[in-house]
Amino acid sequence: MTKANHNASPSGKSASNSKRNHASLKVPTLEAEMIQLRDDFAEFSDISAFLNHAMANTLSGQEVLNPEIIAGARICSHCLQSRTSQLKQDIQRIHARYAKEHKEKIK
């Protein structure tokens, strides 16, 4: 669920990656993971809405299909498919963690 940072340090690694690797030694709280999932889903939803609007405009004849639009649509489609898969995995992982952490409380 993390996003890449393009600020490279002299070592060739990003400063963010270095901090993240150190920070990744700590397991994020379930609450933090759920908040990140919500943020990731909101971003995914915005991109999906934008693409659906663009596709509707194109299909209704308001936009002319040209090679750039077609190439962009393919790239965006691939990204959305990949992101959908990742979000499903994240939801399953967080659900399993929630169930495990709350199983003892239910008994």
Element (H, E) at 4: none
In a domain, 11, yes or no: no
pLDDT tens for the chain, residues 1 to 107: 444 333 334 444 444 455 555 655 788 999 999 999 999 999 999 989 988 888 888 888 877 888 988 888 889 889 999 999 999 999 999 999 999 998 866 65
Q: Which phi and psi angles does 14 have, rounded to 5°?
A: -75, 150
What is the span of the domain harbouring residue 48? 28-106
In a domain, 18, yes or no: no
In a domain, 71, yes or no: yes
In a domain, 13, yes or no: no
In a domain, 50, yes or no: yes
> Tokens 């901090």 map to which residue?
19
Report helix, strand or coil for 77.
Answer: helix
What does the H/E/C string look like for 22-69?
HHCCCCCCHHHHHHHHHHHHHHHHHHHHHHHHHHHHHHCCCCCCCHHH
Taken in order 53, 78, 41, 14, is the CA torsion positive or negative?
negative
Q: Do 47 and 80 meet the contact criterion of CB atoms below 8 Å apart?
A: yes
Q: Into how many domains does the chain fold?
A: 1
pLDDT at 107 (0 to 100): 56
User: Which positions ≥6 away from 72 have C-beta within 8 Å?
Assistant: none
In a domain, 9, yes or no: no
In a domain, 22, yes or no: no
